[in-house]
Structure formats: structure tokens, C-alpha cells
Amino acid sequence: MDEKKVMLSGIKPSGDLTLGSYLGAIKNWAERAEQFDCYYFMADLHAITVRQKPADLRRRTVEQLAQYIACGLDPEKNTLFIQSHVSAHAELGWVLNCFAMFGELSRMTQFKDKSRKNEDNINGGLFTYPCLMAADILLYQPDYVPVGEDQKQHVELARNIVQRFNGIYGDVFKMPEPYIPKVGARVMDLLDPMSKMSKSDEAGAGVVYLMDKPEDIMRKFKRAVTDSDTENCVRYAPEEKPGVANLMSIYSGCTGKSYAEIESEFAGRGYGDFKKYVGEAVVEMLRPIREESLRLIADKAYLESVYRAGAEKASRTAYRTLRKVYKKVGFVER
Ligand code: TRP
């Protein structure tokens, strides 16, 4: 009776993992393995909705796996796999395309955003992206889907699809809940604290990558924007001082200190000093992750054994759901 609840999440290997991916997502994932049955995958199918260099995509996909493990995701306790290795994702994705409405898909904020940014490549995949994401989720019948705030709308769409599909065919899919962590949920760009620290950001000067060298991390924090007032005082006021608030949230994520503790720690000390401390805290937090990632990246045979075993395990669950769906919609059994 004490079946563990199921969790599932994915990250697109469309850019190298950032401090934001770690504090906002992966760090929390690592702590859940005991309590939940967890699936995490590299969403390579999703990555190609924006043009990728093949060699880079391949490298990043495997490096991302190494980084997941280095961040504490134990492959013995979590199912770690590459999305394209479980073809059920693409197959169910097609079926769900037929259960999502044009109007619904047109309202997706990410689609509108990405169309604006990729005017020369507004492809069909970018438009139906949420159907593939719904397939990713529903194949594993998860209870919770840990995502950032920006992905909540996609999980909502998956929920609409569940309602529509189950309404016609009976209880096929479990209704998933989005799971948005309270702390460290959103790390913002160091140079533009109004936008999310994004791994797909080309310039990257305000983005800290998990694999950045300590000196690069320190330089990025030194140049981080604080705010334009002359107060020069570390105080948590996200509306007035988004840059400072972001640095405080990063520092809190690294050290576990509360905002009040941080305010008193830096009382009477300027932003320059504060930024140096935040930078050092990040360097120390990321050091073991970077070292372990580099060690794992060099061990190709090990990584291969992990993603093979992961795909095998994920496939068992995924095809069970897919077979049920195929039967329900009226496909002849193979
Ligand atoms: N769309 C997610 C993102 O851009 C990645 C993703 C793909 C995902 N499939 C998923 C997240 C399924 C959670 C569940 O971040």
C-alpha cells in the first residue's frame, strides 16, 4: 500500500546548465529520491524546436547527465534517461497533438516569446511543444511535476488534455500537479535582474554556468547589477531593488541563511563587499559539482551504462501507458 508517489521532470540540453538550473531545480530533486519515485530526463526532442549544432547537442546531453549525477542525483535511486531513447515520447506526443486545440496552443506564453525571438524559424514543433511535454509527463503517470514558474502553463495544458482524454476514454491518465519550489525558485540574470537566468541566453555575461571556473564566477558577480539608488545597503526589497534581492536569494540558496540573517550580516557594508561574498559562496558550492562533473565526463563508459539502464527502466513504464492509449483510441494491436 505504501507505493511511493511519482515525480518527473526534464531539462532541455539547449544550453549548459546554470546556477539557476541548480538552485531552482536540481538541488531540490536530489533530496527527494528517498521519498518519491523520480524520473529525470534530458529533453533532447524539445531542444531541436530551436536550431542546434548537432555536435553541441550531443555533447551537452551527455554532459547534462554527468552534471545531474554530480549534483547528487544518484542513478541507483532515480531513473535518469535521454528523452529520444524512449520513443514512446514521440509516439504519445503525436496522439496528444490530436487532443490539444489550436486556440489553446496559440495562447502559450512560451510559444509567443520564442516566436518573437526566432522569427526566422517559427516551426510546427515550437507550436506543438506543449503536446510533447504533456506526453513526457503523462507516460509516467506522475503525481507531481517539478517545474519553474514559466512552465506552469504547460503543465496546466497537460491537465486539460487529461481531462479531455479521460472524459472520452475513461481513466487512462493520472492528473498531474505542478510542483513549484518556494525557495530559490527563480534565479535572475546578474546583469538583467528582471529576466530569468537562462541557459539559452547567447551572451551569457549575466549567467553563471555550473562548469564556470572560479575566476569567471567571481568576475560575473563583481559586475552584477545591484540597484541604481545611492542607499548602498543590503536590504530585501524585490520591487525596488531586484538586483540586490536576486543576489540575496542566491546567497540564501548557497548558505541556507534567511534574508533577515543576510541583512544583519551585511549591515553597514557596501554592495562591493556583498557581491564578493556571494561570489565566493557560489564558487564553494559549485566547486565539488564541477570537479565531479569533469571526472564523470571523462568516464564515457559509465555514463553510457547509466543512460542505457535509465532508458530501459523508463521504457517499461512508458510503453505500458502507450499501449493502453493505442488500444483506447482504436489502433490495431501489433
Ligand atoms: N519544457 C521544459 C523547459 O523548457 C522542459 C521539459 C520538457 C519538461 N518536458 C518536460 C519539464 C516534462 C517537466 C516535465 O524547462
In a domain, 208, yes or no: no
In a domain, 19, yes or no: yes
Task: Compute the distance between CA of residue 222 and CA of residue 206 in angstroms, rounded to an integer.
Answer: 11
Tell me 193's DSSP state. Answer: T
Asked whether residue 17 falls in the same domain as residue 109, the answer is yes
In a domain, 188, yes or no: no
In a domain, 60, yes or no: yes
Res 234: pLDDT:
92
Stated as kind and residue range, the H or E segment containing 5 is strand 5-11
How many angstroms separate the first and last alpha carbons of the chain? 34
196 backbone dihedrals φ, ψ, rounded to 5°: -60, 145
User: Which residues constitute the domain of residue 242?
Assistant: 214-295
Asked whether residue 24 falls in the same domain as residue 144, the answer is yes
Number of structural domains in the chain: 2
Asked whether residue 74 falls in the same domain as residue 219, the answer is no
Q: Which CATH number is 288's domain given?
A: 1.10.240.10
7 backbone dihedrals φ, ψ, rounded to 5°: -125, 150
User: Please, what's the largest Cα pairwise distance for the chain?
Assistant: 73
Asked whether residue 135 falls in the same domain as residue 235, the answer is no
Res 1: pLDDT:
46
Closest Cα partner for 162 from 92, 102, 109?
92
Ligand 1, residues 9, 141, 173: which to mutate, most atoms within 8 A of Cβ? 9
Among the atoms of ligand 1, which is closest to the Cα of residue 146?
13
Using CA atoms, how far residue 287 sits from 18, 66, 246, 294, in Å, is: 14, 15, 21, 11
Asked whether residue 23 falls in the same domain as residue 146, the answer is yes
Tell me 84's DSSP state. Answer: G
Ligand 1, residues 151, 153, 177: which to mutate, most atoms within 8 A of Cβ? 151
Active site residues: 114, 196, 199
Among the atoms of ligand 1, which is closest to the Cα of residue 46?
7
- Taking residue 154's Cβ as centre, other Cβ atoms within 10 Å add up to 24
In a domain, 203, yes or no: no
In a domain, 48, yes or no: yes
C-beta of residue 20 within 8 angstroms of C-beta of residue 196:
yes
The whole-angstrom distance between residue 178's C-alpha and the CA centroid of its chain comes to: 13
In a domain, 320, yes or no: yes
Closest Cα partner for 20 from 216, 245, 249, 228?
249
Q: Is 155 in the pocket of ligand 1 (CB under 6 A)?
A: no
Closest Cα partner for 60 from 180, 224, 211?
211
Res 163: pLDDT:
98
pTM listed for this prediction: 0.91
Q: Which CATH number is 175's domain given?
A: 3.40.50.620
C-beta of residue 165 within 8 angstroms of C-beta of residue 119:
no
Asked whether residue 162 falls in the same domain as residue 270, the answer is no
Asked whether residue 32 falls in the same domain as residue 148, the answer is yes
Ligand 1, residues 52, 147, 177: which to mutate, most atoms within 8 A of Cβ? 147
Beta sheet of 79-82, edge-to-edge order: 79-82, 36-42, 5-11, 144-146, 177-179
Asked whether residue 273 falls in the same domain as residue 303, the answer is no
- One pLDDT digit (tens) per residue for the chain, 334 residues: 468 999 999 989 988 899 998 998 888 888 888 899 999 999 999 999 999 999 999 999 999 999 999 999 999 999 999 999 999 999 999 999 999 999 999 999 999 999 998 899 999 999 999 999 999 999 999 999 998 888 999 999 999 999 999 999 999 999 999 998 765 557 999 999 988 888 766 667 899 999 999 999 999 999 999 976 677 889 999 888 999 999 999 999 999 999 999 999 999 898 999 999 999 999 999 999 999 999 999 999 999 999 999 999 999 999 999 999 999 999 999 8
Asked whether residue 280 falls in the same domain as residue 304, the answer is no
Residue nearest to atom 8 of ligand 1 (CA): 10
Q: How far does residue 41's CA lie from ligand 1's centre (Å)?
A: 9
Q: Is 21 in the pocket of ligand 1 (CB under 6 A)?
A: no
Tell me 3's DSSP state. Answer: P
Asked whether residue 290 falls in the same domain as residue 310, the answer is no
Residue 225, helix vs strand vs coil: coil
Asked whether residue 49 falls in the same domain as residue 130, the answer is yes
Q: How far does residue 283's CA lie from ligand 1's centre (Å)?
A: 27
Q: How far does residue 311's CA lie from ligand 1's centre (Å)?
A: 17
Q: Is 178 in the pocket of ligand 1 (CB under 6 A)?
A: no
Over the range 114-149, which residues count as b (16 or more CB within 10 Å of their CB) and which as e? Answer: beeeeeeeeeebbbbbbbbbbbbbbbbbbbbbbbbe
Asked whether residue 263 falls in the same domain as residue 303, the answer is no
In a domain, 201, yes or no: no
Task: Compute the distance between CA of residue 55 and CA of residue 13 in angstroms, rounded to an integer.
Answer: 12
Res 201: pLDDT:
64
Res 255: pLDDT:
94
